[in-house]
Structure 1
Amino acid sequence: MSEADGIVYSDVKFTRPKRNTSGTASSEAEPTYSEVRILKTHPSTELPGSQQHPVSNGGSKVTPERVVIVVLSALLAAAVIALGFTSLDNMHTKQSFQTLRDELEAVKRNLTERRCEVKSYNTVQQTSPQPPVVKENDPRSKCEHGWEQYGRQCYYFSIDLLTWSKSRDECRQKGGDLVQIDSREEQTFLELKLREKNNFEWVVFWIGLTDSEKEGTWLWVDGSSLNESLTFWFPGEPDNWTGRDSDGADCVRMGKKAGAPDLKCWFDQSCKYAYRSICEKPAETGHFTLHCV
Structure 2
Amino acid sequence: MSRPQGYIEGEAPASQHRSGSNGGSKVRSERVALLVVSALLAAAVIVICRLSLDNMHTKQSFQTLRDELEAVKRNLTDDSCPKCEYGWEQHGRQCYYFSISSSTWSESRDECRQKGGDLVQIDSREEQTFLELKVREKMNFEWDKFWIGLTDSEKEGTWLWVDGSPLNESLTFWIHGEPDNWTWYNPDGEDCVRMGEKAGAPDLKCWFDLSCKYTQRRICEKPAETGHFTLQCV
Q: Does the pair score TM above 0.5?
A: yes
* Percentage of matched positions with identical amino acids: 82
4+ residue runs over 2 A deviation: none
Structure 1: stretches of 5+ with no match in the other structure: 1-138, 287-293
Give the aligned partner of residue 233 of structure 1: 174
Superposed displacement of residue 184, structure 1: 0.3
Superposed displacement of residue 260, structure 1: 2.9
Aligned runs of 1:72-83 on 2, under 5 Å?
none
Correspondence 1:276 to 2:210:
no
Aligned runs of 1:193-232 on 2, under 5 Å?
193-232=134-173
Give the aligned partner of residue 161 of structure 1: 102
Relative CO higher for 1 or 2, CA cutoff 8 Å, sep ≥ 6? 2
Superposed displacement of residue 259, structure 1: 5.8
Correspondence 1:185 to 2:185:
no
Give the aligned partner of residue 171 of structure 1: 112
- d(CA) in 2 for partners of 1:283, 1:260: 27
2:198 to 257, 260, 264: 257
Larger proportion of strand: 1
3-state secondary structure, aligned to 1:232: coil
Structure 2: which amino acid aligns with 1:147? W
Distance 1:169 1:140, change over 3 A: same
Name which of structure 1's ranges 196-205 and 239-248 shifts more when overlaid on structure 2: 196-205
2:83 to 142, 146, 165: 142
Number of matched pairs: 149
3-state secondary structure, aligned to 1:170: helix
Distance 1:188 1:272, change over 3 A: same
Superposed displacement of residue 285, structure 1: 2.3
Structure 2: which amino acid aligns with 1:272? K
Superposed displacement of residue 240, structure 1: 0.4
Larger proportion of helix: 2
Superposed displacement of residue 266, structure 1: 0.1
Distance 1:227 1:268, change over 3 A: same
1:244 to 185, 189, 196: 185
- d(CA) in 1 for partners of 2:183, 2:201: 23
Distance 1:189 1:156, change over 3 A: same
Structure 2: stretches of 5+ with no match in the other structure: 1-79, 228-234
